[in-house]
Amino acid sequence: MALKPVDLRKIKERIPNLYEAVVVAARRARMVNDEYKLEFNTLLSSVVSSDDDEFEDKENPEQLKLSLEFEKRDKPHIKALNELIDKGLEYRYKS
């Protein structure tokens, strides 16, 4: 996997305070991660598993395919940074 640097000037265009931008992106990454987990668990529960308890180490091709599909997705922190740069995330302070 190739590393892509993030241009901090693009982030500062959206949110002037870089530290606030990091907090906003981190919170959005947690939300994206929770969405991924929920989606993965619901799809995993729909996958038909074998009833053989003896062979727990046996690979399930449907489960393997599902796992590989989720591994190909953008990581939550990358997705959050891209959303911040492209769309600009809306945030507000707690009062």
pLDDT tens, residue by residue, 77-92: 999 999 999 887 888 8
- Within-domain flag for 74: yes
Q: Per the structure, how many domains does the chain have?
A: 1
C-alpha atoms less than 13 angstroms from C-alpha of 46 in its C-beta half-sphere: 6
Q: Which candidate, 93, 94, 86, 78, places its Cα nearest to that of 28?
A: 78
Highest mean pLDDT among 1-5, 27-31, 47-51: 27-31
Domain that holds residue 69: 8-45+62-86
Tell me what pLDDT residue 50 has: 60
- Within-domain flag for 80: yes
Tens digit of pLDDT for each residue in 24-44? 999 999 999 999 999 999 998
Distances (CA, A) of 26 to 15, 22, 32, 64: 14, 6, 10, 29
Q: How far apart are CA 21 and CA 82, in angstroms?
A: 12
- Within-domain flag for 52: no
Q: How far apart are CA 88 and CA 39, in angstroms?
A: 25
